[in-house]
Amino acid sequence: MKIQEKDILFCLIPSKDTYNSLGFIKGAFRNISGLIETIWIQMMMYMGAVGSSRVMCDNVPGLVSRQRQLCRRHPEAMLSIGRGVAAWTAECQHQFRRHRWDLTSFVSGSRESAFVHAISSAGVVFAITRACSQGELKSCSCDPKKKGSAKDSKGLFDWGGCSDNIDYGVRFARAFVDAKERKGKDARALMNLHNNRAGRKAVKRFLKQECKCHGVSGSCTLRTCWLAMADFRKTGDYLWKKYNGAIQVVMNQDGTGFTVANKRFKKPTKNDLVYFESSPDYCIRDRDVGSLGTAGRVCNQTSRGMDSCEVMCCGRGYDTSRVSRMTKCECKFHWCCAVRCQDYHSLCPSWSVQGMRPSSTLLLCQFCLFLSLHRSC
Cα–Cα distance between 37 and 167 in angstroms, integer? 30
Residue 350 has a pLDDT of 58
Q: Letter for the amino acid at 204?
A: K
Q: Are 13 and 355 in contact (CB under 8 A)?
A: yes
What's the domain count of the chain? 1
Is residue 181 assigned to a domain?
yes
For residue 26, how many C-alpha atoms fall within 13 Å in the half-sphere facing its CB? 10
> Which residue intervals of the chain are DSSP H helices?
23-46, 52-58, 65-73, 75-95, 111-133, 166-177, 187-205, 232-244, 309-312, 364-370
Is residue 44 assigned to a domain?
yes
Q: Are 137 and 76 in contact (CB under 8 A)?
A: yes
Closest CA to 159 of 204, 212, 203: 212
Residue 99 has a pLDDT of 87
Q: What is the DSSP string of 174-186?
A: HHHHSTTGGG--S
**The CA-based dihedral angle spanning residues 40, 29, 98, 110, taken in that order and rounded to the nearest 10 degrees:** 90
Q: Is 97 helix (H, G, I), strand (E, B) or coil?
A: coil
Residue 165 has a pLDDT of 96
Q: What is the DSSP string of 257-321?
A: SEEESSTTSPPP-TTS-EESSPPP---SEETTTTEE-STT-EEBTT--STTBHHHHTTTS-EEEE
Residue 353 has a pLDDT of 58
Name the pTM for this structure.
0.76
Cα–Cα distance between 51 and 54 in angstroms, integer? 6
Structural domain for 144, as ranges: 3-15+24-370
Residue 195 has a pLDDT of 95
Cα–Cα distance between 294 and 361 in angstroms, integer? 14
Spatial neighbors of 65 by CB under 8 A, at least 6 apart, are: none
Q: List the chain pLDDT tens, one digit each, 377 residues.
A: 343 444 445 565 544 333 333 333 333 333 333 334 444 444 544 444 435 567 778 877 778 889 889 988 898 888 888 776 677 788 988 999 888 887 777 788 899 999 999 999 999 999 999 999 999 999 999 999 999 999 998 899 999 999 999 999 999 999 998 998 887 778 889 999 999 999 999 999 999 999 998 887 767 888 999 999 999 999 999 999 999 999 999 988 777 788 899 888 888 999 999 999 988 888 888 877 767 888 878 888 888 888 888 888 888 887 777 767 778 888 888 887 788 888 877 766 555 655 444 333 333 333 333 343 443 33
Residue 111 has a pLDDT of 92
The strand pair at 155-159 and 222-228 is best described as parallel
Is residue 218 assigned to a domain?
yes
Closest CA to 193 of 168, 175, 166: 175
Residue 170 has a pLDDT of 96
Residue 203 has a pLDDT of 96
Is residue 377 assigned to a domain?
no
Q: Is 358 helix (H, G, I), strand (E, B) or coil?
A: coil
Residue 335 has a pLDDT of 82
Is residue 170 assigned to a domain?
yes
Is residue 375 assigned to a domain?
no
Residue 354 has a pLDDT of 54
Cα–Cα distance between 240 and 360 in angstroms, integer? 24
Is residue 220 assigned to a domain?
yes
Residue 279 has a pLDDT of 87
Sign of CA dihedral 62, 22, 349, 9: positive
Cα–Cα distance between 235 and 188 in angstroms, integer? 24
- Whether residue 309 is preceded by a cis peptide bond, meaning omega within 30 degrees of 0, is no
Cα–Cα distance between 215 and 139 in angstroms, integer? 36
Q: Letter for the amino acid at 57?
A: C
Cα–Cα distance between 377 and 364 in angstroms, integer? 8
Closest CA to 293 of 360, 353, 362, 366: 353
